[in-house]
Structure 1
């Protein structure tokens, strides 16, 4: 029966159409299960976003399971093999929006905590769950908000596991022990609009931008380091023109993004871009947005414990990786010294027909439970408030 608990809870969560920022009752369902176990469950809403902080215990060490109950829009339901919010078991897969990203991880967190508390009712340290309905959206009023609340009242986690889907070929093969930062810019190059037959009376911003863009694309921003690949620069959008074939445009607008390692800083990258643009004599305006700083958890107690739990359950030796996009780990890393991401297969996330192998659910739950055993039950309490 216990092995059906994680599937039943995953199905119940998938059935709730919690498209960002709507939680659709997911967090209330989870709180109702955790409260009888002695978890103090706090709702911490902000700006129309639902957030749940559920904690059992007051002493350190404090281990936090972090995740999100929101999902991306499913798109046209007719494109799905079954309705996206009707969890379906087909060909050994659990199908539904959020099956992989990340309602199964949330279900595994909860059932792992239930089993651990039943076996260790007087466990040392503390367990907490941090859930938000804003991870897939702007991410300004979710985990970031809860971290501000925790920081203000000096609640400091020692370990944090974000349940993002990190596995690639098989469950347990990849742990994200860091993520690159994200820095975006919108650069507007000003020219002079005119007739294409009279270019001497105009100034074409596309022609002016082209050599600068070629240099930006060819620049090696850094060499990375032992944990991160080199920083990358990509142009995502380039707009100019009125739509008419005989008009030189008056401006060109370029959107670009850096995914950067700890070998560079946002200030340095911005300064280098501005220097290239100025050296090419461009008249321009720039607007910069820092999506997140890079973070890194070097090999240590959390990474070692998680690798051990994975190996015991699956026989897989998990690799540490910092590839991929940003996650809420960037907010948690400001508060917690050891943050990693670990979860199920990511091959179908955000896709039509999102799914997860059914035989992965119980092993995932067991890995999370074993992690609790290693870091709390098998380790002495610190005795400090956390």
Structure 2
């Protein structure tokens, strides 16, 4: 009975979002009780991997943010490649509406943040924090709404979130790169060339590519470029079809997805969501950094996603998906303001100071919570969809 209940939970669309939320709540509890010193000690515990005195030594929090999140981005890369070659991103006409909505949903929140932080060199670097959407949380809330949500809306949200992830990858590559060390970048071309050759040959075994990807990750990390990009590059070099017609990419994505959804992302949330609330006053919430993040997620996402979708449809470039109304689109725009995982990650790239990161956590948590509740309320009380034949989206 218990095993059956556990199996039903993990097979439910909302399970990833629920587990993510529980991890964030656990982090807040630990950070605000007597366990807080243990929490800080654990996250700052040094961990080293060296060979003959040379290697990597980082606190545990950076192993999570640079290492585990590289696997998270590796899965994103697998999904992007599959969607581009044979999925929702293959037909350009199907991408116009969610694609431009995703662009608006990244640009307007950044503008909202910049409005509150313009001229402040200490905080303006966080402009990209509210531009991200947490797909696990958003689809989890969407699943909780139930039959009132058309299946086409789930596909729309999934496509928007995939393109949002692609935008986040580009932002990280262009704007969150430290001082470059060209020697390591040149060395990184060696495993990259080997992986490219194996991809072109349609390699059946992916273990050699993954080992070369690990080498690439170390070299990219040491070069100053953020190491999560190595995960995306490695994913794009996994063959979609091998020489026997089988799909190493599909098999790897299917096998890796549960570990990312139910382990890596919750661990990241637990490590990054802990903020001490006892010393926080209303004035702290009204400071430019957390206020810019929170309003960027709540207001910026609504205006960006809904406004761009409305403009694209009214100009005749696209039309609303089957059985989807403007109220559904507005509810989806609210859900897009759940930044959480990606917002916290970009925040960790933007600020090293613990006090600044506490402000980031405050803005991300409050903005994501308001967005999630508002999106759920709008979709929950929207009219039931008409007959809907669109295929349901699959949560990653």
TM-score class, shorter: under 0.3
Structure number with bigger Rg: 1
TM-score, reference length from structure 2 = 0.27
TM-score, reference length from structure 1 = 0.28
Answer 1 or 2: which has greater helix percent.
2
Answer 1 or 2: which has greater strand percent.
1
